[in-house]
Amino acid sequence: MVVGNWKMFFGPDPSRLLGLDAVVCPPFTRLADCVAAGLTTFAQNVHWDGEGAYTGEISPPMLLALGVTGSLVGHSERRQYFGESDETVGLRARGALNAGLRVVACVGETIEERRSGKTEHVLRRQLSVLEAHPNLVLAYEPVWAIGTGHTATPEVAQAAHAYIKSILDLPVLYGGSVKPDNAASLFAQPDVDGALVGGASLDIDSFTAICRAATRIPS
């Protein structure tokens, strides 16, 4: 599974991504364009209630009405910049799943947490608010590798993914500066089930190369 997170960028022409076996997560204003183009489209965030006085939020029924089929929850940038907590990540995931959306729930440690030997503690805490569900996928995104150009080595990613799966037996994507030149080595790891791609998903050639790398890995 390859997921492209466009973040707060307008993003490429959706029609040029047709034929790729991938999910796109555009900004809210481009959700309808991506759905209309026939792409598997997820939102970047979703509220847990069906409606209510939650200015700036969007509900699962609203997304489903657009033809959106899933959402990210708990991305590190939501945690860092907007006060997202483990508790609200759990609420968002459950609300979306109960409404019929698919969910990619993100977990990962900061560089300070890794250096102090707290990686497993942080992952265990973040995973404690989630429950196994057929429509739930996890994404390991070490915060120190997001938008920094630094990528976890395949061995570091594999170790983290194996630990995550020992707690929740679910598919786990890797996110953190995934690029065409490192995608194949990441996908070759036995517990890496795909990628959550940030900046490289904004460039059609790069995103296409990553998607192709995923299809070349033997099952």
> The tokens of 168 are what?
């929740």
8 Å CB contact between 22 and 6: no
212: which residues sit within 8 A by CB, 6+ positions away? none
Q: Which residues pair with 102 in a beta bridge?
A: 70
Percent of the chain with pLDDT over 70: 98
The CATH number of the domain covering residues in 2-215: 3.20.20.70
Tell me, what's the pLDDT at 118?
A: 95
50-66 tens-digit pLDDT: 999 999 999 999 999 99
Confidence class for position 217, pLDDT limits 50, 70, 90: low
Cα 214 to Cα 126: distance, rounded to the nearest angstrom: 27
132-141 tens-digit pLDDT: 999 999 999 9
8 Å CB contact between 65 and 35: no
Confidence class for position 144, pLDDT limits 50, 70, 90: confident
29: which residues sit within 8 A by CB, 6+ positions away? none
Of the residues 75, 77, 84, 109, only one is catalytic, namely 75
**Which value, to the nearest 10 degrees, does the dihedral of the CA atoms of residues 140, 20, 59, 28 take?**
100
Instruction: Tell me, yes or no, if 141 is annotated catalytic.
Output: yes
Is the pLDDT reported for residue 17 higher than 50?
A: yes
Cα 129 to Cα 131: distance, rounded to the nearest angstrom: 7
67: which residues sit within 8 A by CB, 6+ positions away? 32, 35, 41
Of the residues 47, 113, 141, 161, only one is catalytic, namely 141
Tell me, what's the pLDDT at 146?
A: 77
Cα 113 to Cα 19: distance, rounded to the nearest angstrom: 40
Using a 10 angstrom Cβ sphere, with 0-12 exposed, 13-18 middle and 19 or more buried, the burial of residue 202 is middle
User: DSSP labels for 73-137?
Assistant: E--HHHHHHH---HHHHHHHHHHHHHHT-EEEEEE---HHHHHTT-HHHHHHHHHTT----TTEE
